[in-house]
Every structure is written in structure tokens, then in C-alpha cells.
């Protein structure tokens, strides 16, 4: 698989740079229902082949992806937690840890 194939697969499924496997599966099911040859779409046969090929490429990529469980990646995926941690001791944003413990 090449990077261009990966990008083309995202384009075919109408997805963007950051997606989950759940989103890929959901979008694939949605498009298969729409373009399945039995649905009456005229170009359904050709389109369904493209959709299934794109799904296989994305699935292969996601299945072989190495996930990072580093703290940096965690905060990248959860920006609200990074903000909470950054401002937890700021009185303007909720006070200090000690103040919250007394309430």
C-alpha cells in the first residue's frame, strides 16, 4: 500500500485525516447500502467495488497501526484533559486542589 492509495481510499469513503475504525466501518456500511447493485443505483456495481477496495485498504492500515500509549499522545487525543490539568491550580478556573478538597 502506498500513501496515495491510503489518501484515495479516504477520499472514496468521504473521510478525513483522523478517523477511528468505528467511523470507517460505519461509513462503509452506509455507502454499501447506498450503492449496492440491488439498491437500483445505475453505477452501483463499479462504485461498490471502489468502496470495498477502499475499505480493505483502510482496514489493513488500521489493523497494522501501532498505537501509542504515551502521555503526549494521550493529551493529544484528549485536549480537554490537558486543559484541566494545566489549569487545575488556577483560582480563576476553579481554585486549588486543596480548596476543592475542603468543599
Does the pLDDT of residue 99 top 70, yes or no? Answer: no
Does the pLDDT of residue 44 top 70, yes or no? Answer: no
In our burial notation (b when 16+ CB lie closer than 10 A, e otherwise), range 76-96 reads: eeeeeeeeeeeeeeeeeeeee
Overall number of domains in the chain: 2
Q: CATH number of the domain at 14, please.
A: 1.10.287.110
Is there a single domain that holds both residue 58 and residue 96?
Answer: no
In terms of residue numbers, what domain contains 61?
1-65
- C-alpha span between 7 and 4 (Å, rounded): 5
Q: What is the pLDDT of residues 46-87, one digit of tens each?
A: 889 999 999 999 999 999 888 888 998 898 888 888 888 888
Q: What nine digits make up the cell of 91?
A: 483560582
Is there a single domain that holds both residue 85 and residue 56?
Answer: no
Q: Where are the beta strands (DSSP E) in 14-101?
A: none
- C-alpha span between 86 and 101 (Å, rounded): 18
Is there a single domain that holds both residue 95 and residue 52?
Answer: no
pLDDT of res. 56:
97
What is the rounded average pLDDT of the residues 92-99?
60
Amino acid at each position: 500500500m502506498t500513501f496515495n492509495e491510503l489518501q484515495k481510499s479516504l477520499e472514496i469513503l468521504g473521510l478525513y485525516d483522523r478517523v477511528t475504525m468505528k467511523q470507517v466501518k460505519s461509513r462503509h456500511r452506509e455507502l454499501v447500502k447506498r450503492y449496492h447493485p440491488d439498491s437500483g443505483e445505475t453505477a452501483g456495481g463499479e462504485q461498490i467495488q471502489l468502496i470495498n477496495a477502499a475499505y480493505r485498504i483502510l482496514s489493513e492500515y488500521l489493523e497494522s497501526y501501532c498505537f501509542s500509549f504515551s502521555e503526549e499522545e494521550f493529551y493529544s487525543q484528549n485536549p480537554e484533559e490537558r486543559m484541566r490539568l494545566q489549569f487545575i491550580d488556577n483560582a480563576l478556573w476553579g481554585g486549588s486542589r486543596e480548596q476543592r478538597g475542603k468543599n
